[in-house]
Chains A and B, each alone.
Chain A
């Protein structure tokens, strides 16, 4: 699998965190195929192609989701549960992202089926590296 036609979904309500995430993706060689949603319920609908996203094309199916843990309304873990309970997205790579260093969040995420975990609170270089690692694991090496 190469990174040519990848779709990366970012679910993030903070504009600052979104910008830092885009910075990390750029540093990882990702330039296109990035979808940004700010709401958990939208993310759940988008991945399942239901509701206002019922006409989402199969081509737009994300290969990897970077999902913020702390979202207003439907939380990151609730979105994760929705993704895991849907047959078409049960194996989708979902990476939970959080500023918190609380160990239990990571444990809970893994228990609910998260594919990976990225701490946002580390230094920028470490954060970029962590995002890069997830991309290599789930989308293959940079073309």
Chain B
């Protein structure tokens, strides 16, 4: 007589397990549905974010672009006034007008740099094998042509290869070497060096100078747009250059950082 009891117990257990199993299945399906929904939500949000981001970027671009036109009118006519009507103004009037011209030029430079920055953000990256030495030499040649009086030692090794977007890397080298050029202006024995080192299978490039350098305490401000660590009268600039370079390196999947000692020079390292 024990058999039927065992059997009924067993069948009850089986039924119970089956019920549990079905519950578990239900829960599992619910979870799957939830996961799918979450994934969908994340995709949707990402898409929304990307759209807003793109909109913001193109808005920034249009704003800078459209600001240029009225500024040109102010700049053009202030200069025309200075050229054509200077004799009708006294010294104070001329001084005011010169200040207006200087201010508009500076704003024009700012807008141009901002435009460059947003252009880089918007543009698609096209990587190919590039010769960084060649790019650097072209940039240095342009700098030397812009100021033939400057005497400085430039060290660029041959065949420094990299994998990057030629146009963007040209812009980055323009900024980095342009900075090195600018901040060594007061050093009679100025030196600029481009080089590379291998670190954990990754190639690190660097641009080194023996110029004014900066205080490492403010190093985190170095790459923020509009952030400047030197006085405008000492070293002019818009403070957008290094922000642009950082954006270029990050677009490549790389990064940029710097080391410096005030008065002794700075080294900017970057990876691609």
A interface with B by C-beta (< 8 Å): 14, 16-17, 19-20, 23, 99-102, 120-121, 123-125, 127
B252 CB contacts on chain A under 8 angstroms: none
Q: How far is the CA of A51 from the CA of B252 in the complex (A)?
A: 54
Q: Which of these binds chain A: B29-37, B52-60, B74-82, B236-244?
A: B74-82
A123 CB contacts on chain B under 8 angstroms: 75, 79, 105
Chain A min CB distance to B24 (Å): 60
Q: Is B258 an interface residue (CB 8 A)?
A: no
Partner pick for B75 among A23, A102, A124, CB 8 A cutoff: A124
Chain B min CB distance to A11 (Å): 17
Chain B min CB distance to A126 (Å): 10
A101 CB contacts on chain B under 8 angstroms: 68, 112, 115
Using known A-B contacts A121-B108, A123-B105, determine if residue A100 contacts B65 with beta carbons closer than 8 Å: yes
B interface with A by C-beta (< 8 Å): 65, 68-69, 72-73, 75-77, 79-80, 83, 105, 108, 112, 115, 119
Decide: B68 and A125 in contact? CB cutoff 8 A: no
Q: Which residue of B lies closest to A127 (CB)?
A: B76
B75 CB contacts on chain A under 8 angstroms: 123-124
Decide: A20 and B80 in contact? CB cutoff 8 A: yes
B73 CB contacts on chain A under 8 angstroms: 16-17, 20
Decide: A124 and B76 in contact? CB cutoff 8 A: yes
B80 CB contacts on chain A under 8 angstroms: 20, 23, 124
Chain B min CB distance to A72 (Å): 14
**A-B pairs with beta carbons under 8 Å apart, 7 shown:** A20-B72, A23-B76, A100-B65, A123-B79, A124-B76, A124-B79, A127-B76
Q: Which residue of B lies closest to A125 (CB)?
A: B79
A121 CB contacts on chain B under 8 angstroms: 68, 72, 108, 112
Partner pick for A20 among B77, B83, B108, CB 8 A cutoff: B77
Decide: B77 and A99 in contact? CB cutoff 8 A: no
Decide: B115 and A120 in contact? CB cutoff 8 A: no
B83 CB contacts on chain A under 8 angstroms: 124
Q: How far is the CA of A101 from the CA of B114 in the complex (A)?
A: 12
Decide: A100 and B68 in contact? CB cutoff 8 A: yes
Q: How far is the CA of A23 from the CA of B108 in the complex (A)?
A: 21
Chain A min CB distance to B112 (Å): 6
Q: Which residue of B lies closest to A20 (CB)?
A: B76
A23 CB contacts on chain B under 8 angstroms: 76, 80
Q: Which residue of A lies closest to B115 (CB)?
A: A101
Q: How far is the CA of A124 from the CA of B261 in the complex (A)?
A: 41
Q: How far is the CA of A69 from the CA of B73 in the complex (A)?
A: 17
Q: How far is the CA of A20 from the CA of B70 in the complex (A)?
A: 13
B69 CB contacts on chain A under 8 angstroms: 14, 99
Q: How far is the CA of A19 from the CA of B81 in the complex (A)?
A: 13
A102 CB contacts on chain B under 8 angstroms: 119
Q: Which residue of A lies closest to B83 (CB)?
A: A124
A99 CB contacts on chain B under 8 angstroms: 68-69, 72
Q: How far is the CA of A115 from the CA of B69 in the complex (A)?
A: 24
Chain A min CB distance to B150 (Å): 22
A120 CB contacts on chain B under 8 angstroms: 72
Given contacts A100-B65, A102-B119, 18 further A-B contacts (CB under 8 A): A16-B76, A16-B77, A17-B72, A17-B73, A19-B77, A20-B77, A20-B80, A99-B68, A99-B69, A100-B68, A101-B68, A101-B112, A101-B115, A121-B68, A121-B72, A121-B108, A123-B79, A125-B79
A100 CB contacts on chain B under 8 angstroms: 65, 68
Chain A min CB distance to B236 (Å): 15
B108 CB contacts on chain A under 8 angstroms: 121
Q: How far is the CA of A17 from the CA of B77 in the complex (A)?
A: 10
